[in-house]
Amino acid sequence: MEVCEMQKAETVLSILKQKSKQDESHRYDRIYRNLFNEDFFLRAYQKIHAKQGNMTPGTDGTTIDGFSRKQISQLIELLKWERYQPKPVRRTYIPKKNGKMRPLGIPAFADKLVQEVVRQILEAIYEPIFSDNSHGFRPNRSCHTALYQIKSTCRGTNWVIEGDITGCFDHIDHEILLKILLKKIDDGRFLELIWKFLKAGYLEFNQKYNSLSGTPQGGIISPILANIYLHEFDKFMEGISAEYTKGKQRRPYREYQILQYKRNRAKKKGNQEQADEYLRQMQNIPALDPMDKNYQRVKYVRYADDFVVCIIGSKATANEIKERIAGFMQKELHLELSREKTKITNLSDKRVRFLGYEITKSQENTKQVVDSIGRKKRSVNGTIQLVVPGDVIREKLKPFIKKGKPYQVGARVNLPVIEIISQYNAEIRGLYNYYCLATDVSTKISTFQYYHYFSMIKTIARKEKSSVKKVIQKYGIDVPRKNGTGTMRIVGIRYNTKEGPKTMTYFNDSLKKVSRPAGEISDQFGQVLKGGQLMKRLNSDVCELCGAEHCALEIHHVRKLKDIVKKYRKRGTPMPNWVWLMSYMKRKTLVLCHDCHVNLHNGTL
């Protein structure tokens, strides 16, 4: 693949992507030299600079603070001479929902930068050929798109295989992954770099451990490497789907046809009462034979290492497919399908849990509706419904309820009122935004909202040593009702900003169900390219503090600007110029010359 290293990164990635679209079997060579292009690293920096985790040091003790073009030049020089060696990640542990601890690796910032460049190149090559059934960590895809695919394509499902791969990311076989990469990439140096990341190991209690399998923990390239690995499974499942698909449509249900014949005869004889009775009986049974052995469908949806297989067919077919999946996983990918957690569920009898939602199937209904062209049809007929699990709401309510009544959150009592309202708003908005596809989102979130809202009021009341009634009187703000009739009073606060007075009330948006995911929803790492203004500031060649021009510039980073401002306000001491400037610009970054950056850290500015 001939690509000029001086081209803009965006142009190079576009060429790689276009080639993959045109020819899925094309193998790429000479892509390692794109790592000598400074623009790739600047683009990578723009993608990752806003992440708070970049202020957590890796095993080399460095963070994103002090980023400069000199750092890029040093990395490119090491890469040119193949002397670049990723450092082991620093292992730490974070709690899981089940109470256990999940290991997390923190890479050195320089390694994050190189990994982001590699990730962008891999994404350009593989994204055009990835399966439409794969939704995890991809552009314009999310949990919502995976759930919507199930809802829109799996109508009439009888059986569901709930897939669970035992420790998928920790057991990815490095040798197999390399063989898979070789199918598309014919560049030894580029593959060697990926191999180095896979084998970098981790540091725990000052002891280095080698990585025998799995993708780098906490690594930026881990999600796309996992998707490349599991793309083989996606292709296998596409073959399974094609193999098991039978029949254009189900055959007519004999009992239904008999009743239809009797109804027509009754109508011809003028016996409308008897004809209506036959119609009622017809509406209580399926029109097409649900047990038709000559009609079969297999649909598959994957999000990262979680997947479901929706089957219109028999349980025997579901069992057979499950065994074939287990065999493929073990033989081809050296992964193990959990026998205990991988279940086969009859969707008519039991709900299936997937990505935090419950999936169920509507039963046939006697109620009839008229479609857009005037035809009568049943209101629901085996359609897939997404619902909010009841235990999720109960678990979410635990901090805000005591003995069945709303209760204050003691940890928030010392916060400013505006911060209390803001935190409560973030919680309910996040809950609604995630479950907005659910059929019962309005009723379930309304239940949560009642207790949550009065918990907020009681928290403010405790803060101000007041009563609920007085808090509502003091902070109540009249807002329009959702149905458009008059106003209602809801607790909020008015405050002043540079743009003028503003009002914040407790969450009052409509809780209506959303029919399909928003187009921009994505959970892919760094999907939105940020930092354009930061690049302009860096390219200006001017220190933002002392005004020095045409000097080597470094970017000073802070984790949270508001925490630094609060620190000085709490002390009652004047803010230094650099804090005031960052606060004025509303930025967590400051472009400085080397001397100003050193003086800032020495406290001599």
- Residue 287: the pLDDT is 81
Whether residue 553 is predicted with pLDDT greater than 50 in this model: the reply is yes
CA distance 602 to 605: 8
User: What's the DSSP call for residue 207?
Assistant: E
What is the Cα 240 distance to its own chain's centre?
Answer: 27
Q: Report residue 121 as tokens.
A: 């190149």
Q: Are 569 and 579 in contact (CB under 8 A)?
A: no
- Mean per-residue pLDDT, 241-248: 92
- Residue 571: the pLDDT is 80
- Residue 605: the pLDDT is 76
Domain ranges of the chain: 9-129+174-212, 236-387, 405-505, 533-602
Q: Are 289 and 260 in contact (CB under 8 A)?
A: no
487 versus 198: the higher-pLDDT residue is 198
Per-residue burial over 313-339, b = 16 or more CB atoms within 10 Å of its CB, e = otherwise: beeebbeebbeebbebbeeebebbbee
Q: Are 229 and 267 in contact (CB under 8 A)?
A: no
Whether residue 519 is predicted with pLDDT greater than 90 in this model: the reply is no
- Residue 72: the pLDDT is 96
Whether residue 59 is predicted with pLDDT greater than 90 in this model: the reply is no
Whether residue 379 is predicted with pLDDT greater than 80 in this model: the reply is no
What stretches of 290-383 show up as alpha helix (H) in DSSP?
A: 315-332
- Residue 281: the pLDDT is 87
Residues 458-466: contacts with CB under 8 Å, at least 24 apart:
458/406, 458/407, 458/408, 459/408, 459/409, 459/412, 459/413, 459/420, 460/417, 460/420, 460/491, 461/408, 462/408, 462/410, 462/413, 463/413, 463/414, 463/415, 463/417, 463/420
Q: Are 469 and 476 in contact (CB under 8 A)?
A: no
- Mean per-residue pLDDT, 351-365: 87
CA distance 242 to 434: 33
- Residue 5: the pLDDT is 44
| 563-589 residue pLDDT tens | 888 888 888 888 899 999 998 888 999
Whether residue 520 is predicted with pLDDT greater than 60 in this model: the reply is no
Q: Are strands 89-95 and 202-204 parallel, antiparallel or unpaired?
A: parallel
Whether residue 364 is predicted with pLDDT greater than 80 in this model: the reply is no
- Mean per-residue pLDDT, 341-367: 86
Question: What count of Cα atoms within 13 Å lies in the side-chain half-sphere of residue 181?
Answer: 24
Question: Between the CA atoms of 312, 318, 324 and 325, what dihedral angle is there, to the nearest 10 degrees?
Answer: 80
Read off φ and ψ for residue 425, nearest 5 degrees: -60, -45
Whether residue 460 is predicted with pLDDT greater than 70 in this model: the reply is yes
CA distance 495 to 502: 5
User: What's the DSSP call for residue 218?
Assistant: T
CA distance 475 to 434: 29
Q: Please name every residue paired with 92 in a beta bridge, in sequence order, or none if there are none.
A: 104
Q: Which amino acid is at 427?
A: E
CB neighbours of residue 393 within 10 Å: 16
Q: Could you tell me if residue 211 is left (phi over 0), alpha (psi between -120 and 50 degrees) or otherwise beta? A: beta
Q: Band of the pLDDT at 377, cuts 50, 70, 90?
A: low
Q: What angle do CA 63, 69, 75 make, to 5 degrees?
A: 70
- Mean per-residue pLDDT, 534-546: 90
- Residue 2: the pLDDT is 41
Tell me what the pLDDT averaged over the chain comes to.
Answer: 89
| 10-41 residue pLDDT tens | 999 999 999 999 998 999 999 999 999 999 99
Q: Are 461 and 467 in contact (CB under 8 A)?
A: yes
Q: Could you tell me if residue 334 is left (phi over 0), alpha (psi between -120 and 50 degrees) or otherwise beta? A: left
Q: Are 374 and 347 in contact (CB under 8 A)?
A: no
- Residue 531: the pLDDT is 60
Read out DSSP for 397-409? Answer: HGGGEETTEE---
What's 471-539 look like in SS3?
HHHHHEEEEECCCCCCEEEEEEEEEEECCEEEEEECCCCCCCCCCCCCCCCCCCCCCCCCCHHHHHHHH
List of residues 6+ apart from 352 with CB closer than 8 A: 160, 162, 308, 345, 358, 359, 360
Whether residue 3 is predicted with pLDDT greater than 50 in this model: the reply is no
Q: Report residue 235 as tokens.
A: 């292709």
- Mean per-residue pLDDT, 479-506: 87
Q: Are 506 and 453 in contact (CB under 8 A)?
A: yes
CB neighbours of residue 185 within 10 Å: 22
CA distance 320 to 314: 10
| 113-124 residue pLDDT tens | 999 999 999 999
- Residue 93: the pLDDT is 82
What stretches of 69-108 show up as alpha helix (H) in DSSP?
A: 69-80
- Residue 370: the pLDDT is 60
- Residue 94: the pLDDT is 78
Whether residue 421 is predicted with pLDDT greater than 50 in this model: the reply is yes
CA distance 477 to 508: 12
pLDDT over 70, % of the chain: 93
User: What's the DSSP call for residue 35?
Assistant: G
- Mean per-residue pLDDT, 452-469: 96
Q: Which of 103-112, 182-191, 281-290, 404-413 has the least mean pLDDT?
A: 281-290
- Residue 68: the pLDDT is 93
Compute the radius of gyration of the chain from its Cα atoms: 30
User: What's the DSSP call for residue 568?
Assistant: H
List of residues 6+ apart from 394 with CB closer than 8 A: none
- Mean per-residue pLDDT, 441-464: 96
Read out DSSP for 239-251? Answer: HHHHHH-B-SSPP
Number of H-type helices and E-type strands within the chain: 19, 20
Whether residue 529 is predicted with pLDDT greater than 80 in this model: the reply is no
